[in-house]
């Protein structure tokens, strides 16, 4: 039933998107031409629609890669610094086809799910595109998952195949899988029959061959001319509305949910990300220290590569601040993507000043609120004046708001940018559902091409967040200004109410972050508090201000009702 439901959702979505003038559920508001920023445009209420001269693409991932290979056959597509792997677009395309044919030779077919479980390695990206070529759905599995978590996600989506390395750090992947699938030790490769994982029959290991598994080299050699012919036939049946990727997102509560994304979702999001970043013939090398199982690298990095011909430079299998700086310096990267904590780590490296970062121009910072002081240091100390903030969710493919490279420092530090083309956003009161005035906090909702097909096998959970009118309820508190720029304030569930006053943890965290001795800070609610204090606790990271300092008068320039009642320092 899950497969049938997901197959139906894209068609319903297309029907909705073709109704150019019948946007049910959209309050009166403003359309912004979002190809370029404009100071003259004004939004009249908390609804904005991103219009554009750029049409949405109706191509599959494979078609996009093919076109880019024709344009840049000899340009580097992928560099994995730690492993010493370098692939041009032509080399990558050839190996993608070999891998796709190999998967078909192993018995996988269109619509099957293949889990990719491990750190950033070349084979991760290879499988991302090989599965897309063959109509197989890639399941992005957190490399830190243990047995129970792994069993849940494999069972939830019915993975037929699982790909992983032998070990990374303390993770012994084969041994972890054995806890849920002990039958693997006595099975022939491709013939696993597991009681607890009944759909799983094929396990592929990247760098060794253990009982019941294929080695990746065997997969690369398995496809012959007949499988290549089969691959071409499959590609003729692919639609841009077919599911391509399942990314698990847990939200704030409950078991992980499999957000299912189509070619159309991901291809168009990557296309628009690349256009807003502004690649040139000289500036196209992107450093990617973030994990591939997250959209920031898999879509914002690799899919952008497939559409725009950018080069993806992976500094290390998992994030290392020093390795990221080395990659930028040695590979002369023009762009660097990461989360705020990654940039904080890079800026904190003892030998930071020894790295040549002069090639940098910009990049994307996303994943959590960006403290203004951090953004200012990134733009100045890291030579990234065109740095932009992006906002999105896995369920939205992921980006829905993004700044422009030449935005003012105020917009870069106080907002997450402007609405993406072909996307609608509105702010509603989370309790009443009423549209709110400009600059008023409420729940952010998104509609457009970017909204996921649904949570795999979870129609009830899907209907909780996607309305009948196809609005995705993000659960984030946000506001829109008169220019259509969005400010993220926090999570609806995190809002603290004291004495009738709304207190937003993210706002308070930003304030505390301005203290010169604060490196990182987290605010959370408490059940019982003294009168006159906010129901929160500031948790301060290492090498930061002691609690006594934060409670002193120099930190009391914020409203009294917002001040945390308790501080805890981690020194």
Query: Which tens digit of pLDDT belongs to each residue from 323-347?
Result: 999 999 999 999 999 999 999 999 9
Write the burial class of residue 66 (CB in 10 Å: 0-12 exposed, 13-18 middle, 19+ buried).
Answer: middle
Question: Average pLDDT, stretch 558-569?
Answer: 56
Q: Cα separation of 236 and 470, whole Å?
A: 29
Better pLDDT: 419 or 251: 419
Angle at 470 between CA 136 and CA 292, to 5 degrees: 40
DSSP of 172-185: EHHHHHHHH-GGGG
Both tokens of 20, joined, read 């150019």
Point out which residues pair with 477 in neighbouring strands.
Answer: 443, 490
d(CA 184, CA 495): 47
**Interatomic CA distance for residues 275 and 34, integer angstroms:** 11
| Cβ–Cβ under 8 Å, residues 75 and 316 | no
CA of 544: how far to CAs of 129, 370, 411, 550, 553, in Å? Answer: 43, 18, 27, 10, 17
Which residue range is the domain that position 178 belongs to? 83-251
Boundary residue ending a domain (251, 274, 306):
251
Cα pseudo-dihedral 118, 122, 123, 128, rounded to 10:
90
51-55, 320-324, 387-391, 415-419: which range is least confident on average? 51-55
In a domain, 375, yes or no: no
Say how far apart CA 472 and CA 426 lie, in whole Å.
Answer: 10
- The residue from 251, 286, 316 where one domain ends is 251
Q: What is the pTM of this model?
A: 0.84
**Tokens 């290979």 belong to which residue?**
69
Using CB atoms within 10 Å of the CB of residue 58, give its burial: 0 to 12 exposed, 13 to 18 middle, 19+ buried: middle
Whole-angstrom distance, CA of residue 155 vs CA of residue 198: 8
Q: Is residue 156 part of a domain?
A: yes
- Percent of the chain exceeding pLDDT 70 equals 80
What 3-state DSSP class applies to 442?
Answer: strand
Residue among 35, 31, 33, 29 at smallest CA distance from 49: 31
Helix (H, G, I), strand (E, B), or coil: what is residue 38? coil
- Domain tally, the chain: 2
Closest by CA to 260, choosing from 241, 242, 247, is 247
Residue 342: φ, ψ to 5°: -65, -45
Question: Is 364 contained in some domain?
Answer: no
5-14, 128-137, 414-423, 463-472: range with lowest mean pLDDT? 5-14
**DSSP code of 26?**
P
pLDDT (0 to 100) of residue 553: 45
CATH code where residue 195 lies: 3.40.50.980
1-10, 253-262, 347-356: range with lowest mean pLDDT: 1-10
What is the average per-residue pLDDT within 310-328?
99
Q: For residues 408 and 415, what is the distance between their CA atoms, to the nearest angstrom? A: 10
Model confidence at 4: pLDDT above 90: no
Q: How confident is the model at residue 544 (pLDDT cuts 50, 70, 90)?
A: low
Residue 537: in which H helix or E strand, if any?
strand 534-540
Give the confidence band of 521 by pLDDT, cuts at 50, 70, 90.
confident
Separation between Cα atoms, residue 307 and residue 325, nearest integer Å? 26
Q: Are 315 and 289 in contact (CB under 8 A)?
A: yes
C-beta separation of 305 from 147 below 8 A: no
* Residue 457 in tokens: 């096998």
Longest CA–CA span in the chain (Å) reads 76
* Cα 221 versus chain centre, distance: 32
Owner of token pair 């999001």:
269
Name the DSSP letter for residue 318. Answer: S
Where a domain ends, among 251, 284, 316? 251
Tell whether 550 is covered by a domain: yes
130 domain-assigned: yes
What is residue 517's predicted lDDT score, i.e. its pLDDT? 72
Q: 78: closest CA among 385, 294, 284, 354? A: 284
pLDDT tens for 358-402 read: 999 999 999 988 889 999 999 999 999 999 999 999 999 999 999
Alpha-carbon gap, residue 480 to 489, rounded angstroms: 11
Q: For the chain, what is the mean pLDDT?
A: 87
**Which residue would you say has higher pLDDT here, 512 or 445?**
445
Contact in structure between 159 and 194 (CB atoms under 8 Å): no
Question: Could you tell me the CATH number of the domain that includes residue 558?
Answer: 3.30.300.30
3-state secondary structure of 39: coil
| Better-predicted residue by pLDDT, 316 or 41 | 316
Placement of tokens 């506001």 in the chain: 479
Judge whether residue 30 has pLDDT over 90.
no
Reduce the DSSP state of residue 368 to 3 states and report it: coil
Would 17 be classed as within a structural domain? no
pLDDT in tens, 439-496: 999 999 999 999 999 999 999 999 999 999 999 999 999 999 999 999 999 887 665 5
The proportion of the chain whose per-residue pLDDT surpasses 90, expressed as a percent, equals 75
Using the structure block, give the residue that is written with the tokens 């500031």: 538
Cβ neighbours, 10 Å, residue 253: 6
Indicate whether 487 belongs to any domain: no
Residue 527 has pLDDT above 60, yes or no: no
CA 36 to chain centre: 24
Alpha carbons 163 and 116: distance in angstroms, whole number: 5
Position with higher pLDDT, 523 vs 56: 56
Question: What pLDDT, on the 0 to 100 scale, is given for residue 488?
Answer: 94
DSSP annotation string for 324-367: HHHHHHHHT-SEE-B-HHHHHHHHT-TTGGGS--TT--EEEE-S
Nearest 10 degrees: Cα torsion 148, 149, 153, 156: 50
Please give the helix or strand (H or E) that residue 372 lies within, else none: helix 372-381
Q: Which residues contact 453 (CB under 8 A, 6 or more apart)?
A: 6, 9, 10, 13, 243, 260, 261, 262, 265
93, 124, 288, 319 from 80: Cα distances, Å: 17, 11, 10, 13
- Confirm whether 38 is domain-assigned: no
């Amino acid at each position: 039933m899950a497969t049938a439901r997901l197959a139906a959702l894209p068609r319903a979505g297309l029907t909705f998107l073709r109704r150019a003038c019948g946007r049910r559920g959209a309050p009166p508001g403003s359309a912004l031409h979002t190809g370029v920023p404009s100071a003259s445009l004004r939004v009249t209420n908390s609804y904005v629609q991103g219009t554009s001269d750029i049409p949405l693409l109706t191509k599959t991932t494979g078609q996009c890669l093919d076109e880019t290979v024709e344009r840049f056959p000899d340009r580097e597509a992928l560099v994995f610094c730690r492993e010493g792997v370098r692939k041009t677009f032509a080399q990558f395309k050839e190996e993608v086809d070999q891998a796709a044919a190999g998967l078909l030779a192993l018995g996988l077919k269109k619509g099957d799910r293949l889990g990719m479980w491990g750190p950033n390695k070349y084979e991760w990206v290879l499988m991302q595109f090989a599965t897309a070529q063959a109509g197989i759905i890639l399941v992005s599995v957190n490399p830190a998952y243990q047995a129970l978590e792994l069993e849940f996600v494999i069972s939830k989506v019915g993975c037929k195949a699982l790909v992983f390395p032998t070990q990374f750090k303390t993770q012994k992947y084969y041994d972890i899988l054995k806890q849920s699938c002990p039958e693997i030790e006595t099975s022939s490769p491709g013939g696993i029959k597991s009681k607890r994982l009944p759909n799983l029959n094929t396990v592929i290991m990247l760098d060794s061959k253990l009982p019941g598994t294929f080695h990746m080299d065997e997969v690369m050699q398995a496809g012959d001319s007949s499988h290549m012919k089969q691959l071409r036939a499959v590609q003729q049946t692919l639609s841009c509305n077919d599911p391509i990727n399942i990314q698990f997102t847990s939200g704030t509560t409950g078991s992980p949910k499999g957000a299912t994304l189509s070619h159309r979702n991901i291809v168009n999001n990557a296309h628009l990300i690349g256009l807003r970043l502004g690649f040139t013939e000289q500036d196209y090398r992107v450093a990617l220290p973030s994990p591939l199982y997250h959209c920031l690298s898999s879509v914002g990095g690799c899919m952008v590569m497939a559409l725009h011909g950018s080069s993806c430079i992976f500094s290390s299998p998992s994030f290392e601040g020093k390795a990221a700086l080395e990659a930028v310096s040695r590979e002369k990267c023009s762009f660097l993507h990461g989360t705020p904590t990654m940039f904080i780590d890079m800026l904190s490296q003892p030998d930071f000043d020894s790295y040549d970062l002069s090639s940098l121009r910009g990049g994307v910072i996303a994943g959590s609120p960006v403290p203004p002081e951090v953004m200012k240091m990134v733009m100045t100390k890291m030579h990234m004046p065109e740095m932009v903030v992006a906002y999105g969710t896995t369920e939205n493919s992921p980006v829905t708001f993004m700044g422009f490279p030449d935005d003012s420092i105020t917009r870069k530090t106080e907002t997450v940018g402007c609405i993406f083309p072909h996307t609608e956003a509105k702010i509603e009161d989370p309790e009443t559902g009423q549209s709110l005035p400009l600059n008023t906090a409420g729940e952010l909702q998104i509609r457009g091409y970017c909204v996921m097909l649904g949570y795999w096998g979870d129609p009830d959970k899907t209907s909780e967040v996607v309305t009948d009118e196809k609005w995705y309820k993000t659960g984030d508190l946000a506001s829109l200004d008169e220019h259509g720029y969005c400010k993220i304030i926090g999570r609806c569930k995190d809002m603290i109410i004291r004495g009738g006053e709304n207190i937003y943890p993210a706002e308070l965290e930003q304030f505390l972050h301005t203290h010169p001795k604060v490196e990182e800070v987290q605010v959370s609610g408490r059940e019982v508090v003294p009168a006159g204090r906010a129901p929160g606790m500031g948790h301060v990271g290492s090498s930061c201000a002691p609690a006594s300092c934060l409670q002193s008068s120099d930190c009391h320039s914020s409203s009294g009702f917002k001040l945390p009642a308790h501080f805890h320092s981690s020194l």
